[in-house]
């Protein structure tokens, strides 16, 4: 029996759900891999290390605590990826494995962090950063080996998907926003979603990981839905279309490009059927053509599962004696 020590940075809903899931599956994990998990630190910004000193910061823990895997779940800064990048960097520099659900580091510093992980022989996983626990990065990594990703596209921001749908029902914007907030689909400040920043960060993450792009979100051509009017949506309907905020990435003359923009989607196209908080991603590869994956109405359990699945992967890879490929 092996005990794996976990340090968790951030203790919001996803972190709590992950911790519950890990407890729920403790027996299965013990039976399957002969491992147990022990949280040595759980750090929040306001309370310090809940299992240690109240003066310890997340960076202190990443830099000095005695753990095997850092679980990085601090809040996102979509413009810088910080402070998550520093936490991850500190852990990888020490040769510690890292799991994050924070898209900031993948959108802003993936290449650097991934290289650092490889140099130090540790694992760096981030399945949850796009489409929650839906296996996007693992699907490509584990099941599409030797396939070269040539294109990605998808609907990856549920807030705008929800707002556009409600607009199509002619519901006034203030009602949409109020109801969206009460359902948890709309943030206190919806501008990061509405103006396409969240979608651009996810697109960058996809391009960095799947297409080896080494980009930052400001290099994505970004247009949000803030200028879409009720009239635009009616006009689209007249032409048999819905308006959706679509993310795209492609390769042209050896360079990778990304774009986020509202698009007319014909109502008989599968993207038109992706509604509410569901999301969709199409991955085009040289050997397998277009594969599309749809996640329907995820909740916090799917986020927890994404982190959990990364954890299981690290255990398996270590058992198999792999180092990071």
Residues 247-286 that bind a second copy (CB under 8 A): 267-270, 272-274
Instruction: Based on the shown chain and the rule CB under 8 A, indicate whether residue 154 belongs to the binding site for a second copy.
Output: no
Out of 59, 147, 177, 261, which residue is the one contacting a second copy (CB under 8 A)?
Answer: 147
Quick one: which of 46, 145, 238, 253 contacts a second copy (CB under 8 A)? 145
And the tokens for 147? 């396939």
Phi-psi region of 190 (alpha: psi -120 to 50; beta: other; left: phi over 0): alpha
Q: How far is the CB of 211 from a second copy (least distance, A)?
A: 18
288: contact with a second copy by CB under 8 A: yes
238 near a second copy, judged by CB under 8 A: no
* Of residues 15 and 194, the one with the C-beta less far from a second copy: 15
Nearer Cβ to a second copy, position 91 or 283? 283
Q: Is 21 in the site for a second copy (CB under 8 A)?
A: yes
Q: Is 30 in the site for a second copy (CB under 8 A)?
A: no
- Residue 24: partners with Cβ closer than 8 Å, 6 or more residues away: none
In the complex, what is the shortest distance from the CB of residue 133 to a second copy, in angstroms, rounded to a whole number? 6
Map residue 210 onto helix, strand or coil. Answer: helix
CB count in 10 Å sphere of residue 291: 15
CB 59, min distance to a second copy, A: 32
Q: Does 115 bind a second copy (CB under 8 A)?
A: no
Q: Which one-letter DSSP state was computed for residue 219?
A: G
Nearest-5° Cα angle at 61, 60 to 64 = 80
Q: Could you tell me if 155 and 225 are in contact, meaning their C-beta atoms sit under 8 angstroms apart?
A: no
- # residues near a second copy by CB under 8 A: 43
Q: What is the DSSP string of 223-249?
A: --STT--HHHHHHHHHTTEEEEEEEEE
Does residue 296 belong to the site contacting a second copy (CB under 8 A)? Answer: yes
Least distance in angstroms from the C-beta of 38 to a second copy: 19
DSSP string, 36-58: EEEEEEEEETTTEETTS-TT--H
Q: How far is the CB of 322 from a second copy (least distance, A)?
A: 7
Nearer to a second copy, 173 or 270 (CB): 270
Interaction between residue 322 and a second copy (CB under 8 A) = yes
Q: Which of 78, 294, 300, 324 binds a second copy (CB under 8 A)?
A: 294
Listed residue (277, 258, 248) closest to 164, CA to CA: 277
Considering only residues 298 to 317 of the shown chain, the ones binding a second copy according to CB under 8 A are: 298-299, 301-302, 305, 308-309, 312
Task: Tell me which of 28, 36, 38, 226 binds a second copy, using CB under 8 A.
Answer: 28
Sign (positive/negative) of CA torsion 126, 15, 188, 162? positive
Ramachandran bin of 92, using left for φ above 0, alpha for ψ from -120 to 50, beta for the remaining angles:
alpha
Alpha carbon distance 70, 61 (integer Å) = 9
Residues that bind a second copy (CB under 8 A): 21, 25, 28, 133-135, 138-139, 142-147, 267-270, 272-274, 287-299, 301-302, 305, 308-309, 312, 320-322
């Amino acid at each position: 029996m092996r005990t794996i020590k976990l340090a968790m940075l951030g203790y919001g809903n996803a972190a709590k759900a992950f911790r519950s899931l890990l407890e729920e599956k403790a027996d299965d994990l013990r039976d399957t891999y002969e491992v147990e998990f022990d949280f040595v630190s759980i750090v929040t910004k306001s309370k310090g290390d809940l299992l240690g000193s109240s003066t310890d910061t997340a960076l202190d823990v990443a830099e000095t605590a005695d753990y095997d895997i850092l679980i990085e779940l601090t809040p996102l800064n979509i413009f810088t990826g910080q402070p998550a990048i520093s936490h991850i960097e500190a852990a990888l520099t020490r040769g510690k494995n890292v799991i994050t659900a924070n898209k900031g580091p993948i959108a802003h510093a993936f290449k650097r962090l991934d290289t650092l992980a490889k140099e130090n022989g540790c694992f760096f996983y981030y399945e949850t950063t796009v489409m929650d626990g839906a296996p996007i990065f693992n699907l490509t990594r584990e099941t599409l080996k030797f396939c070269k990703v040539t294109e990605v596209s998808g609907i990856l921001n549920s807030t705008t998907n929800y707002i556009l749908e409600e607009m199509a029902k002619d519901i006034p914007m203030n009602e949409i926003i109020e109801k969206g907030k009460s359902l948890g689909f709309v943030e206190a400040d919806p501008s990061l979603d509405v103006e396409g920043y969240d979608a651009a960060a996810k697109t960058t993450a996809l391009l960095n990981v799947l297409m080896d792009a080494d980009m930052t979100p400001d290099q994505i051509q970004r247009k949000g839905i803030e200028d879409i009017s009720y009239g635009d949506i009616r006009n689209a309907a007249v032409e048999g279309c819905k308006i959706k905020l679509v993310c795209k990435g492609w390769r042209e003359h050896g360079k990778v490009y990304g774009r986020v923009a509202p698009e007319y989607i014909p109502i008989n196209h599968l993207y038109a059927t992706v509604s509410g908080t569901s999301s969709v991603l199409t991955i085009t590869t040289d050997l397998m053509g277009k594969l599309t994956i749809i996640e329907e109405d995820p909740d916090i359990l799917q986020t927890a599962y994404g982190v959990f699945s990364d954890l299981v992967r690290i255990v398996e890879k270590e058992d198999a004696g792999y180092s990071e490929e």
